[in-house]
């Protein structure tokens, strides 16, 4: 099974233009060896610099598990892409699905594979070129989440932490932060949410987002990432960068916000 590109020329350019854009994004990024990060997934002109900083902080591995929201509403609540390959936007290379971890997750969660949620979903596709810029040989496990129940998300974090002991991987929670608010309001909401992330308080974070109807689109994946990080012995999360679309558009009345966060 081959997952085709869905958002080329809308979220990012192709060919040499994409390579040059990535080269600029990765200037002055700082390497780290974190096992998990939160990384934005908007159009690259808006969130690319923050994404590059988040991915540079991530430990280089043979396998990356990427959690993303399900923007289309199609497919299962927890959608694990079956075996096969994904076309990578950077030079259209193909990234193989790590079938061992994908199969283990499916078995432990007692669910079926589902590719439908991934067909038109952009929030993993736009992260792949950042990974490929730094790592030419890796595999992925792609998980789209439309599951909002805290207990089930925490259980997924627990399962991932158990699998981490069997086969080491790096984890990425693909998420943008507040959508379509003023920059001031977005920052107020997001920094309250980020305080829960810094404390590795997955339940507090989940409750804050749901009770306040915060528009953090990948909050489900972030919840899982917090639980995973806590269970593998990490102690805290650090904000790498926070910015918004206003940095490009100059419109501070209606922004989408982005954060790169690393778990250490």
What is this structure's pTM?
0.97
pLDDT at res. 92 = 82
The percent of residues above 70 in pLDDT, for the chain, comes to 100
Residue range of the domain that includes 178: 2-263
Once rounded to an integer, what is the mean pLDDT over residues 111-132?
97
Task: In whole angstroms, give the CA distance from residue 73 to residue 226.
Answer: 24
Mean pLDDT over 79-104 rounds to 95
pLDDT in the model for residue 134 = 96
pLDDT the model gives residue 123 = 98
Distant-in-sequence, close-in-space partners of 257: CB < 8 Å, separation ≥ 6: 176, 177, 178, 179, 183, 186, 187, 190, 242, 243, 244, 245
- At 113, is the secondary structure helix, strand, or coil? coil
Write down the pLDDT at residue 91: 81
What are 50-89's pLDDT values in tens digits? 999 999 999 999 999 999 999 999 999 999 999 999 999 9
Tokens standing for residue 70:
């399900």
Residue 223 has pLDDT above 90, yes or no: yes
pLDDT, averaged across the chain: 97
Indicate whether 96 pLDDT > 90: yes
pLDDT computed for residue 170 by the predictor: 98
Tell me if 38 sits within 8 A of 197, measured CB to CB.
yes
**Overall average pLDDT of the 120-131 stretch:** 98
Tens of pLDDT, residues 131-162: 999 998 999 999 999 999 999 999 999 999 99
* Contacts (Cβ under 8 Å, ≥6 apart) of 223: 150, 153, 154, 157, 202, 205, 206
Average pLDDT (30-49) is 97
Give me the pLDDT at residue 208, please.
Answer: 98
Cα–Cα distance measured from residue 182 to residue 254, given in angstroms and rounded to the nearest whole number:
5
Number of compact structural domains in the chain: 1
CATH number of the structural domain spanning residue 168: 3.40.830.10
The DSSP line for 175-218 is: ----EEE-HHHHHHHHHHHHHHHHTT-HHHHHHHHHHTT---TT
Please say if the pLDDT value at position 93 is more than 90: no
């Amino acid at each position: 099974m081959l997952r085709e590109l869905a958002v080329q020329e809308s979220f990012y350019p192709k060919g040499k233009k994409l390579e040059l854009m990535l080269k600029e994004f990765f200037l002055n990024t700082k390497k780290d060896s974190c096992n998990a990060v939160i990384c934005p997934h908007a159009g690259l002109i808006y969130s690319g610099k923050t994404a590059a900083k988040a991915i540079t902080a991530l430990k280089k591995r043979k396998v990356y598990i990427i959690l993303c929201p399900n923007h289309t509403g199609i497919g299962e609540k927890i959608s694990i892409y079956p075996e096969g390959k994904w076309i990578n936007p950077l030079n259209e290379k193909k990234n193989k699905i790590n079938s061992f971890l994908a199969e283990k997750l499916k078995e432990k969660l007692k669910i079926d594979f589902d590719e439908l949620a991934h067909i038109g979903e952009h929030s993993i596709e736009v992260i792949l070129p950042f990974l490929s810029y730094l790592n030419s040989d890796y595999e992925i496990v792609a998980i789209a989440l439309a599951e909002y129940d805290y207990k089930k998300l925490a259980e997924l974090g627990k399962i991932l932490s158990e699998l981490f002991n069997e086969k080491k991987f790096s984890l990425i929670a693909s998420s943008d932060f507040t959508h379509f608010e003023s920059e001031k309001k977005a920052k107020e909401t997001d920094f309250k949410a980020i305080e829960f992330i810094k404390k590795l308080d997955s339940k507090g974070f989940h409750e804050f987002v749901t009770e306040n109807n915060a528009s953090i689109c990948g909050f489900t994946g972030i919840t899982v990432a917090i639980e995973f990080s806590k269970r593998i012995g990490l102690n805290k999360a650090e904000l790498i960068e926070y910015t918004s679309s206003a940095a490009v558009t100059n419109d501070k009345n209606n922004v989408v916000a982005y954060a790169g966060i690393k778990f250490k």
